[in-house]
């Protein structure tokens, strides 16, 4: 069988970085080809080249043995390439049929849109994928999973022969995931060449025939026989060293209870939540998407108003009804969604760091102490090794890891008692991850306490002293570090089989 | 290519000009425009005309100071022109009724502030779009101006009040001094206080700013309140210059103010608001208008020219931005 899609010695050079380095690999028709690798390994650059968004610096993409010269995403689309991204490109206020045919509306002779034909085409296309959706339904009324199916239908409508999925299950429910896998299997039978990018190892094993590992922009290895590989082999190829290095957990002293949350209720929680946090402790929170982890954190931080329950800080009851009130008590929050809730992208590193702490250093109660602010910024740039050309650079142009460091610096400039970190290392490379974990140990050794929320189980298991599991908006159970086991934690986090 | 550029010795003068062009292109354009007009337009570069020019931009200048904060936070206010009319009329009526200039001025300013508080509260607390809120408020306030005045101009009997708008200090009319003071005060507020920095942060990312512990609702209400008070004060100054409160004055003034700010490089989506940009924007708008008057260009054409200038300025800015990105 000849390869349908081939990358031949493809490289992509950005100023100062080689994002892809001499990558050669191929995908056959009827193959599901998994791509795995750490963030920054080059997977997304590869997809962008395939989609026509980037032009390779060297080498070329071949489809059906023909070298492609994509000048833009439209050329790739015309050549039969469809990419299903994590972030979906649908217009929420338009109907399913309109979205499917956007840009290609059938017209009547008069020039007006032929709604009848449009609906027919849409229904026909949907019948392959997901019969129960009404083509007149608005996209905004569909679940994320259903929207993803619409994207796939759109790809099929454009006669795509090459379909690439970029982390397709990250926001899907279990049921929707099963559905998606069925569809992928059908596409495979229909002879499509499929690329499947995912961090989730178990999915790779479930649906891929072939898997290629990337690291630092290079192709490391392609495994064509999935029975000969296992989780550990893939991880060691991905990381290039022993995985235990990343967390390098260290035992630390812990003191008395600092924070006690009692019967907290609010939006996103199904049952009142209670737990306590000790001085010097790293308390992990684990749960699947929709388990209510982030919602609980937002309630604790006052970002969302709680409807019941109480907080005790050092055994004294306190009121928290806004982020500001939490901050005044020494409790700080690094949000999950750094770009939308953490940084102010167009403002400088200096301003992003000083936005909160400056209220302690105002001159005459009104004017900024710019000299002191610059000193604060400079000291954190060197202490946390924030990689930025200068302190006046806009934060939006820094890498994810450095943006996270800027947010950390913002809080470390304050007198921290409790730090809530929601997905502290999402989208951050291994090296920086390790730096952040080290910083977490160091902070707790100084007597601060940390709540670490993550959907990355190895991460919460790697760094936490204690772990609380959440499921469907309630706290299910908690584990001490010596009880940690991937299996038991996952089984607690997964919805009960009986309920499905 | 970048390397060859770096190695080639660059004339320091060229470097300074390039730097100036990149950082404050509009200032360069204004200076060039000013020189050209001084050479080619008779009477343009005379003290008398300069004073006239200053007076003509003083109103827009004052309100641009506070509109700058509105734009910086990612909102805008379309009700300022009506507040100008309302406050002018209110001041006139109150001065005539009480005989006290102080109470009259205070009534005008506080009246504007009250409208601002309502604007800000609706926008911040109920989360209604600023366009709709201030557009609705604009109608209400214009109506109020007519109601308070009874539909016609209210002449002011207390002559001392006219000093505010027509008096001079060190040879320069008071409104120009007031505008200069406003730019200094609000420039300091924007760059040297947490009020200003938080405003810019809100325009850059509202949710992140809220989670960083900034009382965003309070600041938003404050921005609109100060905006209302400033528009009210501008209305009082205008009433003093016209010696009466006019209920139908200043139509189109809100958009003049916003245009001037945008012309100077203030971003409509918030987060970027250089005060020097607002100053230059106000000056360019005023200078062009002034020169057209001197050249006897008919009013109808003046509208067209002003619109064209605004569009060209924004296009140049966009062109510059895409250039620096590549």
The DSSP letter of residue A335 is -
Comparing alpha-carbon positions, the chain A residue that sits nearest to B216 is A324
Q: Are B81 and B254 in contact (CB under 8 A)?
A: yes
Tell me if A351 and B201 make a contact (CB, 8 A cut-off). yes
Chain A residue whose CA is closest to B203: A344
Contacts of A343 in chain B (CB under 8 A): 205, 208
Q: Are B306 and B285 in contact (CB under 8 A)?
A: yes
Q: Whole-angstrom Cα distance, residue B32 to residue B20?
A: 13
Q: Does A305 touch chain B (CB under 8 A)?
A: no
Euclidean distance between CA atoms A255 and B101, whole angstroms: 67
| The pLDDT of residue A498 | 41
CB < 8 Å to A323, chain B:
210-213
Q: What are the chain B neighbours of A366 within 8 Å (beta carbons)?
A: 193
Distance in Å, alpha carbon of B207 to nearest chain A alpha carbon: 5
The predicted structure's pLDDT at residue A244: 55
Arithmetic mean of pLDDT, B267-290: 91
Lookup: tokens for B101: 């200039």
Q: Which of B248, B245, B266, B247 is nearest to B257 (CA)?
A: B266
ipTM here: 0.81
Closest CA to B289 of B56, B81, B48, B59: B56
Could you tell me the two tokens for B83? 């507040």
| Domains of chain A: residue spans and CATH | 3-239 (3.40.50.300), 257-497 (3.40.50.300)
Q: For B77-134, how does the pLDDT look when each residue is reduced to its tens digit (9 = 90+)?
A: 999 999 999 999 999 999 999 999 999 999 999 999 999 999 999 999 999 999 999 9
> Minimal CA–CA distance to B232: which of B124, B116, B95?
B116
**A12 in Cβ contact with A20 (< 8 Å):** yes
- What is the average per-residue pLDDT within A481-498? 78
Distance CA(A165)–CA(A32), nearest Å, equals: 10
The token pair at B325 is 């990105």
Which residue of chain A comes nearest to B267, CA vs CA?
Answer: A346
Query: Percent of chain A scored above 90 by pLDDT?
Result: 43
Whether the CA torsion B120, B122, B125, B129 is positive or negative: it is negative
- A324, A340, A351 member nearest B213 (Cβ): A324
CA distances from B73 to A407, B24, B32, B124, B189 (A): 21, 21, 31, 12, 14
pLDDT of residue B325: 45
Evaluate if residue A464 carries a pLDDT over 90.
Answer: yes
DSSP E strands, A279-344: 282-286, 308-313, 316-318, 331-334
What chain A residue is nearest to B204 in terms of C-alpha separation? A344
Which residue, B135, B150, B153, is CA-closest to B80?
Answer: B135
pLDDT of B280 above 90: yes
Q: Is the pLDDT of residue B10 over 70?
A: no
Chain B residues within an 8 Å CB radius of A346: 204, 271-272
Residues facing A260 on adjacent strands: A276, A312
> How much is the CA Rg of chain B, to the nearest whole Å?
21
User: Which residues in chain B are contacts of A303 at CB distance < 8 A?
Assistant: 210-211
Kindly report the nearest CA distance between residue A66 and chain B, in angstroms.
Answer: 31
Instruction: Give B 193-212 residues with CB within 8 A of chain A.
Output: 193-194, 197-198, 200-201, 204-205, 207-212
- For the cut 90, the answer to whether the pLDDT of residue B288 exceeds it is yes
Q: Is the pLDDT of residue A132 over 80?
A: no
| B209 has a pLDDT exceeding 70 | yes
- pLDDT above 70: residue A95: yes
Asked if A261 contacts A274 with a C-beta cutoff of 8 angstroms, the reply is: yes
Which pair of structure tokens corresponds to residue A196? Answer: 């499947």
Mean local confidence (pLDDT), A425-453: 88
The verdict on a CB contact (< 8 Å) between A355 and B212 is: yes
Residue B1: the pLDDT is: 37
- Close Cβ partners of B269 (under 8 Å, ≥ 6 residues apart): B74, B203
Q: Locate the chain A residue with the closest alpha carbon to B208.
A: A341
Residue A500 pLDDT more than 70? no
DSSP calls for A138-179: BGGGS-HHHHHHHHHHHHHHTT-SEEEEESTTTT--HHHHHH
- Smallest Cα–Cα separation from B210: which of A366, A322, A368, A407? A322
What is the radius of gyration, based on Cα positions, of chain A? Answer: 25
Q: Provide the 10 A C-beta neighbour count for residue A472.
A: 17
Report the half-sphere exposure of A451 (CA within 13 A, side-chain side): 30
**pLDDT score at B16:** 78
> Two tokens at A276?
């306590």
Structural contact between residues B239 and B177, judged by C-beta atoms closer than 8 angstroms: no
Q: Phi first, then psi: what are they for A490, rounded to 5°?
A: -65, -40
Asked if residues B149 and B235 have their Cβ atoms less than 8 Å apart, the reply is no
Q: For B186, which DSSP code?
A: H
Using the predicted structure, report yes or no on whether residue B71 has a pLDDT greater than 50: yes
Chain A partners within 8 Å of B194 (Cβ): 358-359, 362, 368
> What pLDDT sits at residue B321?
66
Range with the poorest average pLDDT among A191-205, B90-104, B286-300: A191-205
Percent of chain B with pLDDT over 70: 94
């Amino acid at each position: 069988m000849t390869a349908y899609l081939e990358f031949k010695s493809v490289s992509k050079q950005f100023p100062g970085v080689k994002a892809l380095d001499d990558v050669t690999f191929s995908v056959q028709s009827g193959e599901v080809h998994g791509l795995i690798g750490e963030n920054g390994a080059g997977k997304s650059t590869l997809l962008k080249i395939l989609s026509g968004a980037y032009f390779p610096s060297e080498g070329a993409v071949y489809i059906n043995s023909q070298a492609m010269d994509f000048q833009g995403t439209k050329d790739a689309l015309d050549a039969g390439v469809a990419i299903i991204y994590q972030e979906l490109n649908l217009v929420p206020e338009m109907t399913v049929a309109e979205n499917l045919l956007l840009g290609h509306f059938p017209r009547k002779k008069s020039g007006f849109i032929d709604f009848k034909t449009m609906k027919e085409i849409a229904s026909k296309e949907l019948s392959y994928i997901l019969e129960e959706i009404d083509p007149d339904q608005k996209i905004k009324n569909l679940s994320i999973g259903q929207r993803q199916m619409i994207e796939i239908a759109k790809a099929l409508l454009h006669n795509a022969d090459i379909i690439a999925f970029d982390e397709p299950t990250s926001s899907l429910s279990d049921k929707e995931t099963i559905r998606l896998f069925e569809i992928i299997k059908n596409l495979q039978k229909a002879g499509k060449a499929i690329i499947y990018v995912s961090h989730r190892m178990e999915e790779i094993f479930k649906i891929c025939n072939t898997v290629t590992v990337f690291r630092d922009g290079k192709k490391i290895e392609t495994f064509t026989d999935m029975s000969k590989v296992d989780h550990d082999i893939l991880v060691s190829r991905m990381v290039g060293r022993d995985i235990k290095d990343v967390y390098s957990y260290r035992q630390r002293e812990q003191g008395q209870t600092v924070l006690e949350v009692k019967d907290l209720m609010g939006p996103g929680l199904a049952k009142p939540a209670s737990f306590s946090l000790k001085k010097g402790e790293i308390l992990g929170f684990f749960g699947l998407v929709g388990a209510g982890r982030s919602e609980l954190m937002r309630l604790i931080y006052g970002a969302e108003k709680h409807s019941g329950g109480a907080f005790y800080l050092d055994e004294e009851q306190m009121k928290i009804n806004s982020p500001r009130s939490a901050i005044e008590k020494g409790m700080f929050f690094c949000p999950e969604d750094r770009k939308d809730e953490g940084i102010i992208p167009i403002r400088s590193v200096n301003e992003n760091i000083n936005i909160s702490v400056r209220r302690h250093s105002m001159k005459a109660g009104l004017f900024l102490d710019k000299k002191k602010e610059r000193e604060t910024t400079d000291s954190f740039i060197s202490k946390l090794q924030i990689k930025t050309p200068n302190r006046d650079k806009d934060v939006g142009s820094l890498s994810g890891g450095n943006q996270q460091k800027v947010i950390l610096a913002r809080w470390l400039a304050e007198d921290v008692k409790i730090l809530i970190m929601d997905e502290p290392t999402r989208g951050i490379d291994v090296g920086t991850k390790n730096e952040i974990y080290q910083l977490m140990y160091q902070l707790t050794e100084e007597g601060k306490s940390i709540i670490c929320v993550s959907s990355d189980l190895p991460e919460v298991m790697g760094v936490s002293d204690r772990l609380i599991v959440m499921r469907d908006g309630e706290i299910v159970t908690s584990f001490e570090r010596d009880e940690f086991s991937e299996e038991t934690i996952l089984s607690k986090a997964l919805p009960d089989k009986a309920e499905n | 290519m970048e390397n060859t550029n770096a190695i080639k010795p660059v004339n320091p003068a060229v470097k300074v000009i390039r730097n100036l062009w990149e950082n404050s292109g509009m200032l360069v354009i204004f200076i060039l425009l000013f020189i050209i007009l001084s050479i080619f337009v008779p009477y343009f570069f005379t003290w008398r005309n300069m004073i006239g020019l200053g007076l003509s931009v003083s109103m827009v200048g004052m309100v641009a100071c506070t509109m700058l904060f509105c734009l910086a936070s990612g909102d805008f206010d379309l009700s300022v022109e009506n507040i100008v009319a309302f406050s002018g009329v209110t001041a006139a009526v109150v001065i005539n009724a009480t005989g006290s200039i102080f109470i009259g001025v205070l009534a005008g300013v506080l009246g504007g502030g009250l409208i601002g508080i309502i604007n800000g509260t609706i926008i911040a607390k109920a989360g209604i779009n600023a366009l709709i809120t201030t557009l609705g408020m604009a109608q209400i306030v214009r109506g109020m101006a007519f109601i308070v005045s009874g539909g016609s101009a209210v002449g002011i009997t207390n002559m001392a009040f006219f000093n505010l708008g027509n008096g001079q200090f060190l040879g320069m009319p008071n409104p120009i001094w007031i505008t200069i003071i406003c730019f200094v005060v609000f420039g300091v507020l924007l760059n040297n206080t947490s009020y200003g920095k938080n405003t810019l942060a809100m325009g850059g990312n509202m949710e992140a700013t809220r989670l960083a512990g900034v009382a965003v609702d309070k600041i938003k209400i404050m921005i609109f309140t100060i905006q209302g008070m400033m528009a009210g004060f501008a209305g009082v100054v205008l009433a003093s210059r016209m010696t009466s409160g006019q209920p139908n004055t200043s139509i189109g003034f809100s958009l003049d103010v916003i245009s001037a700010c945008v012309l100077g490089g203030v971003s409509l989506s918030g987060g970027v608001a250089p005060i020097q940009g607002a100053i230059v924007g106000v000056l360019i708008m005023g200078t062009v208008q002034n020169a057209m008057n001197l050249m006897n260009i008919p009013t109808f054409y003046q509208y067209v020219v002003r619109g064209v200038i605004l569009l060209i300025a924004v296009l140049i800015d966009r062109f510059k931005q895409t250039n620096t990105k590549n």
